[in-house]
Structure 1
Amino acid sequence: MLGAPGSDCGTSWRRLPESQVYITDAKERREQDEINAEKGMSTKVTSTVSTEEAEDDRETRPAKHINWSDAMIDTLIAILPLYFVAFCVAAYIRDGTLANSFRNQAILQMAKFNPTIFPIIFTLIFAKFIKAVANAKLERGASVGSIQHLLGSRTLVSSVFTPMRLRTWSIVVPLLVVMWACNPLGGQLSLRSVSRATNVTVIDTPFVYVDPMQEIDLRALPADSDPSYNRVIDTSFNTALLTPASSKNGTQDVFGNIQIPMLEYLRLNQTADVDGWFYTLGRNLTGLEAIVADTIDLPQHRKLIYASLIGIPYIANLTISSLTETNASSSDDLSAKLQRIKQDLFGEQVMNTRLEFTLQSSYVYSDCSFQPLHVGSPLPSGDEGIYVSNNVSMNTFGNATDFVTNGAGLTIKYDGNHTMNSTSVRNIVFESFLAVNDVDLGMTENGGSTGTTYPTISEARCGLSTTHVEAQVSCATSSNCTVSKIRESKAPHQPNYLTFLDGATIPASIDAGDDFTIPYRQKLARELMSNFVNATGPPSGIFNLSPLESFFTYPDSPWKAAISGMGASSGQSNQLPINLVGDLLFSQRLTQLLNTYWLTSAEPFQMVTGIDLEMVESGESTVPLPTTMGTTFVEKIVLRCHIPYMAVLLVISIALFGMGMATAYLDATRKGPDVLDDFVNSLRHNPYVHVDDKLGSSMEDGKEMVQRLKHTVVKIGDVHPGESVGYVAIGTPNHVQPVEHLDHRRHYA
């Protein structure tokens, strides 16, 4: 602050010489001049009120005892950081509870609001604390540098640059910088102390599923001669053929059943791990990992081939009886446990449910190879009704002794003597008739057609075996499941060369000599094969394949191909003999058809509608269903407290509260006026400031001076314009006290 000699606003006090007396008007000046002339003294003319007059007019006050008003305001401000303490306590108490509850939603909203208010509260309290400390130091006596350093360090940036500007260094410098750094830090901590997180509850869960090779008491099934039951089987089978490609080739069918990958296909494309597992879920590799994977030819995610067009039904068995098997508690305890599990699994707060379980399954695999296409003599015109349906001479392949046919060109020859005592796979011959024009057979030159039609027979020789597998099912949600890995089953099972055609699914508990089993085992292959080839009905003509045969060449839409002939008209066909698909594709697709028909035959209702747990519990299910223990991971979104962040926020908040209360104490016990912040304090005891009002007390605070002098005009300038050397001070420009503009051509003392 600028001040005149003799004021307390400069850097030191200066006593006026005895020869200088302050006067205020012309009469007193003349009288004083005469006195000074007699004494040989000079007179100093000023523009201020005389000391005697000033002292007579000045208001008097005692030193302050307790400053209650400032103390109360400071106390109210000091309480503000306790909001963050309450926030941390409330969040800690609610840690791990559901995030979408009303209280937790309020806490999360508070967390969003915290970064806005924390810097305001921090700055308000810490800046007032610094000023209160500076006032206390001033009353007790302190260096100008220390006080100015405190006053100049009331922001983060100024706390860094003020020591450089003042060239003052002490332990207070880094302490102030660290404290101000807590301002943005606390704002971020107040936001990040809580968040939404996923809480996973692990529940051991029994799962019930259908095993196609499970022992089935066929006596419980409706009679094969029952037309209505056969219609149900055929309807289920044809529904599977009509399903979209995404269902046929997906991890689940349209009914939500689990599709079992074909192990033989996986063996062709990847190598099992040390435990024999083949993984069906690939990884999306990028960057260096992708380069390394390409270098070592690491198997990536690929399209899978599934053993059937429909999958294996499954369901979590959350019933009292399923809990009783592993818990001997009372029925009431079991009911309560069941309710808790159901609430965990299906409650309103459940965000997602992941499932994992392992099942044992099996399927029939057909290993086929085509013979060269049999092309007969040209068909005479008008013989469209003639089929090569009586071409049933027994082929020596596989000791074929019997056959079944749809009467329209589809024939399956098989060994009727293959039984449970056989030691090799069952061989069959699959024959498909189709009339094809000479163009489609490539028998014309230059693409021209003679209109000649030739009968063709596609003959595939297949060996049927059973593949027993162990599959791990992983469900990303309760309704989105896939087989994540699969291997050959390690569990005891019947030899691979026995299939359901041999009666391998008839329970071992039934006497092998039972009147039921002997004839049924003998006719089982015939009944199933006969129903199989007739399941989709005959073709619409000699130029078309049946829907079952069309699946080999048009698997995505076999019914459309069979009905429309894919554009066939006037004796010309776009359908081609099925042997053109090759051995591998034919083997895979025949495998899918055979297993689909067996699944729909063994349990057509559960394949479509799912497993009925009530029937399972009551024992009314016609098919025994195995149970496997799995794990259910219940994901809920909860409120999560981050303890390290919260602990630091608590420390800062409590420190702010302490500083706020210290500020209240220092302001309450301050004896003198507050002179550190207000510009008006530069006018205190300034001889160049002349006011007409009564002078205030020296105990007057800066804010009180402002209220009293708010209309007084002041100016910084030359207060000795008439002297050779000017003097710079703040004064009240008027006719008594001139304050001239500063001039760069003039020198100032």
Structure 2
Amino acid sequence: MATNQESQVYITDAKERREQDEINAEKGMSTKVTSTVSTEEAEDDRETRPAKHINWSDAMIDTLIAILPLYFVAFCVAAYIRDGTLANSFRNQAILQMAKFNPTIFPIIFTLIFAKFIKAVANAKLERGASVGSIQHLLGSRTLVSSVFTPMRLRTWSIVVPLLVVMWACNPLGGQLSLRSVSRATNVTVIDTPFVYVDPMQEIDLRALPADSDPSYNRVIDTSFNTALLTPASSKNGTQDVFGNIQIPMLEYLRLNQTADVDGWFYTLGRNLTGLEAIVADTIDLPQHRKLIYASLIGIPYIANLTISSLTETNASSSDDLSAKLQRIKQDLFGEQVMNTRLEFTLQSSYVYSDCSFQPLHVGSPLPSGDEGIYVSNNVSMNTFGNATDFVTNGAGLTIKYDGNHTMNSTSVRNIVFESFLAVNDVDLGMTENGGSTGTTYPTISEARCGLSTTHVEAQVSCATSSNCTVSKIRESKAPHQPNYLTFLDGATIPASIDAGDDFTIPYRQKLARELMSNFVNATGPPSGIFNLSPLESFFTYPDSPWKAAISGMGASSGQSNQLPINLVGDLLFSQRLTQLLNTYWLTSAEPFQMVTGIDLEMVESGESTVPLPTTMGTTFVEKIVLRCHIPYMAVLLVISIALFGMGMATAYLDATRKGPDVLDDFVNSLRHNPYVHVDDKLGSSMEDGKEMVQRLKHTVVKIGDVHPGESVGYVAIGTPNHVQPVEHLDHRRHYA
């Protein structure tokens, strides 16, 4: 050691420093103190504190935090109590709003409680003595990702590792469960419901109807029929007409386009196929969207009968009072809670089908100018087809010939001949060369020969809502019915209970075909001229708007100034459209009022209805949007929430009973008993928590660097850089001990 110069000594221990001071004093050398370690006098001035007994402040804060998960417990309980109740109620709307916010607040609460719990456990282990690895593992596992990578980094493996990972995985899981524990769902109440409807072939006591000779009644029939012709195409070709009546699909058309199932059902609703099903359907050319042709232009009136005593509710006990039950059902059907009402029922119906084939168009000799009317009035020529014995005409070219001897005792279908006159110029007939016209007009007669039969069907009606119904499937009726070759023209609807020898029935049966056919051909009036068809005839060539076609001269071919003969539509279309016209006229004749205004249940119940209406039992599905609890999700959420509450209370207990200072979480704890930190203020107690040290030293500047810059080998530590304690920047060219 040099004895003639002043040396600068770095002292790291109080005892060594005192010994060095004594040696330097004996030799008369001055010693410059650079250590920040307190002297004995400073140690005497250090603040003293007893070990902590109970940390009330930490315990209270931890307890308040521990209560937070009980919010999710309350949420689950409230949702469970309200399960199955109307979703749009105020309370349920609040629960659904809570569910939306739950995924946001759950991770915050979970992280807050579980991270504090891990630190509290680490503090408890430190006071009781634990390995550095176990404590550092706990402190480094306070997020999901760090709980996975900390064991890898520290190379510490124990049963705690998967437990921490699983617990942290409950964080996102709980957030999702808190959202999915409740939702809106459809609750369905099933009600057995009788439905009343009109069957076109139902037995009708014609004596109860006004006489056909009554002009007022005939005007009602014609008005109803023409209203059907005037309805838009969406009504004529839709599942329901403009009055809400159910359209019955034409079974003959369905047979041409699809195959019935094993029970004979033809399905009318298309399927939207995707994926493999769509490929298979394309391969076998399976029709997915089915176009339907309906039996008439207006449908079958129906109504759910909620007034009769046979109404029952499937989920009601037999001891319920009927009036109370009925009131409850009405509240379900018409109350504010109902979101939708679906209906299903099966009805028996029937319609007349005309199977027609055209004869070649008859073109007569050119008409002399001014002599057209003579030909029109004398164009009827009887033939022997179908034993035609009589005819009806509108006096302007439309004639129907029929067998007047066809009766209820006949064993074959009734044949008719439909003839339509139209004057056509030579251009439209293609009788001129180079498109030139000679101005010649030719009389034409379109003649179709038809066989009339009755098709009896069974139809299943499905209503997506109480007012949106369709026939979902249809088949030939399995119920007993009259032979198919008998129609309403034969008096098939006259009740069998009426004596066959009744003075009313026999004459009426004999004249029924004439009366109906005569009124039918005259229902729309005559055409406006020899170049136009009547509205009834125009329906064959322009079904969407026959009245417009009849008045403006629109024809089957676009761009024609005059209408064209109806035989151009072909046998199939003519058969279908004549079927629609005949059934429409029969429906409006049998019950014109109910076709338009609907069924009057009061008249049905009182027996005042002129037409007996059949009743069929169906099902009403009352759909409500309710709050639905998902019990499995809710159970897991409850377990996690209760576990969080338990961990929160355990944290409060561990923090309350901690004796020593909190030294694990604050950077300032790295300055405890550090010989390279110089603090001029009074030294704090060793019982100081980290937060207290921060408050005391918050303005003290510290730095990590070389605290032995004057030596050949440096030393890295955290110190206070000042004139007493140098802390130099680290240099990659130096070595450090």
Please tell me the TM-score bracket, short chain as reference: over 0.9
Distance 1:167 1:324, change over 3 A: closer
Q: CA deviation at 1:602?
A: 0.3
Q: CA deviation at 1:571?
A: 16
Q: CA deviation at 1:630?
A: 0.7
Q: Residues 384 and 541 of structure 1 are in contact (CA less than 8 Å); yes or no, is this contact kept in structure 2?
A: no
What CA deviation, in whole Å up to 9, does each residue of 1:437-467 have, x standing for no partner?
1122222222222111111111111111111
Q: Residues 320 and 338 of structure 1 are in contact (CA less than 8 Å); yes or no, is this contact kept in structure 2?
A: no
Q: CA deviation at 1:567?
A: 8.4
Q: CA deviation at 1:727?
A: 2.4
Q: SS at the partner of 2:311?
A: helix
1:476 corresponds in structure 2 to 464
Q: SS at the partner of 1:309?
A: coil
Q: CA deviation at 1:40?
A: 14
- 2:298 corresponds to 1:310: yes
What CA deviation, in whole Å up to 9, does each residue of 1:611-651 have, x standing for no partner?
11111111111110000011112221111111111111111
Q: Residues 183 and 627 of structure 2 are in contact (CA less than 8 Å); yes or no, is this contact kept in structure 1?
A: yes
Supply the distance in 2 between the matched residues of 1:570 and 1:647 (Cα, whole angstroms): 70
Q: Residues 24 and 50 of structure 1 are in contact (CA less than 8 Å); yes or no, is this contact kept in structure 2?
A: no
User: Once structures 1 and 2 are overlaid, which stretch shifts more, 692-701 or 315-324?
Assistant: 315-324
Q: CA deviation at 1:691?
A: 1.8
Distance 1:29 1:473, change over 3 A: closer
Distance 1:81 1:26, change over 3 A: closer
Q: Residues 387 and 433 of structure 1 are in contact (CA less than 8 Å); yes or no, is this contact kept in structure 2?
A: no
Distance 1:580 1:22, change over 3 A: closer
Distance 1:35 1:741, change over 3 A: same
Q: Residues 22 and 51 of structure 1 are in contact (CA less than 8 Å); yes or no, is this contact kept in structure 2?
A: no
Supply the distance in 2 between the matched residues of 1:668 and 1:494 (Cα, whole angstroms): 94
Q: CA deviation at 1:718?
A: 2.6
User: Once structures 1 and 2 are overlaid, which stretch shifts more, 176-185 or 603-612?
Assistant: 176-185
1:520 corresponds in structure 2 to 508
Q: CA deviation at 1:25?
A: 15
Q: Residues 203 and 495 of structure 2 are in contact (CA less than 8 Å); yes or no, is this contact kept in structure 1?
A: yes
Q: Residues 705 and 717 of structure 2 are in contact (CA less than 8 Å); yes or no, is this contact kept in structure 1?
A: yes
1:142 corresponds in structure 2 to 130
Tell me, which stretches of 5 or more residues in structure 1 are unaligned? 1-17
Supply the distance in 1 between the matched residues of 2:470 and 2:383 (Cα, whole angstroms): 42
Supply the distance in 2 between the matched residues of 1:661 and 1:700 (Cα, whole angstroms): 24
Q: Residues 568 and 574 of structure 1 are in contact (CA less than 8 Å); yes or no, is this contact kept in structure 2?
A: no
Q: CA deviation at 1:511?
A: 0.9
Supply the distance in 1 between the matched residues of 2:316 and 2:72 (Cα, whole angstroms): 49
Q: SS at the partner of 1:350?
A: coil
2:156 corresponds in structure 1 to 168
User: Once structures 1 and 2 are overlaid, which stretch shifts more, 388-397 or 643-652?
Assistant: 388-397
Distance 1:615 1:328, change over 3 A: farther
Q: CA deviation at 1:29?
A: 8.8
What CA deviation, in whole Å up to 9, does each residue of 1:351-401 have, x standing for no partner?
211111100000011111122222222111112333433344432112111
Distance 1:665 1:552, change over 3 A: same
Q: SS at the partner of 2:79?
A: helix
Distance 1:572 1:351, change over 3 A: closer
Distance 1:50 1:430, change over 3 A: closer
Distance 1:742 1:569, change over 3 A: closer
User: Once structures 1 and 2 are overlaid, which stretch shifts more, 634-643 or 482-491?
Assistant: 634-643
Distance 1:727 1:384, change over 3 A: same
Q: SS at the partner of 2:26?
A: helix
Q: Residues 314 and 611 of structure 1 are in contact (CA less than 8 Å); yes or no, is this contact kept in structure 2?
A: yes
Q: SS at the partner of 1:343?
A: helix
Supply the distance in 2 between the matched residues of 1:27 and 1:78 (Cα, whole angstroms): 49
User: Once structures 1 and 2 are overlaid, which stretch shifts more, 654-663 or 192-201?
Assistant: 192-201
Q: CA deviation at 1:32?
A: 6.2
Distance 1:238 1:140, change over 3 A: same
User: How many residues are treated as equivalent by the alignment?
Assistant: 732
Q: CA deviation at 1:573?
A: 5.6
Match of 1:672 among 648, 660, 683: 660
Distance 1:223 1:60, change over 3 A: same
Supply the distance in 1 between the matched residues of 2:314 and 2:24 (Cα, whole angstroms): 120
Q: CA deviation at 1:51?
A: 3.8
Q: Residues 366 and 587 of structure 1 are in contact (CA less than 8 Å); yes or no, is this contact kept in structure 2?
A: yes
Q: CA deviation at 1:695?
A: 1.2
Q: Residues 547 and 558 of structure 1 are in contact (CA less than 8 Å); yes or no, is this contact kept in structure 2?
A: yes
Distance 1:51 1:307, change over 3 A: same
Q: SS at the partner of 1:175?
A: helix
Q: SS at the partner of 2:376?
A: coil
What CA deviation, in whole Å up to 9, does each residue of 1:294-337 have, x standing for no partner?
33332332211111010000110011434389999999922211
Q: Residues 365 and 442 of structure 2 are in contact (CA less than 8 Å); yes or no, is this contact kept in structure 1?
A: yes
Q: Residues 66 and 644 of structure 2 are in contact (CA less than 8 Å); yes or no, is this contact kept in structure 1?
A: yes
Distance 1:267 1:509, change over 3 A: same
Q: CA deviation at 1:662?
A: 0.5
Supply the distance in 2 between the matched residues of 1:327 and 1:694 (Cα, whole angstroms): 82
Q: Residues 85 and 653 of structure 1 are in contact (CA less than 8 Å); yes or no, is this contact kept in structure 2?
A: yes
Q: Residues 360 and 468 of structure 1 are in contact (CA less than 8 Å); yes or no, is this contact kept in structure 2?
A: yes
Supply the distance in 2 between the matched residues of 1:323 and 1:48 (Cα, whole angstroms): 97
Q: SS at the partner of 1:638?
A: strand
Distance 1:571 1:168, change over 3 A: closer
Distance 1:742 1:298, change over 3 A: closer
What CA deviation, in whole Å up to 9, does each residue of 1:207-239 have, x standing for no partner?
100000000011111111111111010000001
Distance 1:231 1:271, change over 3 A: same
Distance 1:387 1:572, change over 3 A: farther
Q: Residues 313 and 607 of structure 1 are in contact (CA less than 8 Å); yes or no, is this contact kept in structure 2?
A: yes
What CA deviation, in whole Å up to 9, does each residue of 1:154-178 have, x standing for no partner?
1111111111111111111111111
1:631 corresponds in structure 2 to 619
Q: SS at the partner of 1:385?
A: helix
The percentage of aligned residue pairs carrying the same residue is 100
Q: Residues 437 and 572 of structure 1 are in contact (CA less than 8 Å); yes or no, is this contact kept in structure 2?
A: no
Q: Residues 13 and 37 of structure 2 are in contact (CA less than 8 Å); yes or no, is this contact kept in structure 1?
A: no
- 2:598 corresponds to 1:618: no
Q: SS at the partner of 2:112?
A: helix
Distance 1:247 1:701, change over 3 A: same
Distance 1:208 1:604, change over 3 A: same
Q: What is the TM-score of this pair, normalised by structure 1?
A: 0.93
1:570 corresponds in structure 2 to 558
User: Once structures 1 and 2 are overlaid, which stretch shifts more, 677-686 or 111-120?
Assistant: 677-686
Q: CA deviation at 1:736?
A: 2.7
Q: CA deviation at 1:76?
A: 0.3
Supply the distance in 2 between the matched residues of 1:31 and 1:292 (Cα, whole angstroms): 100
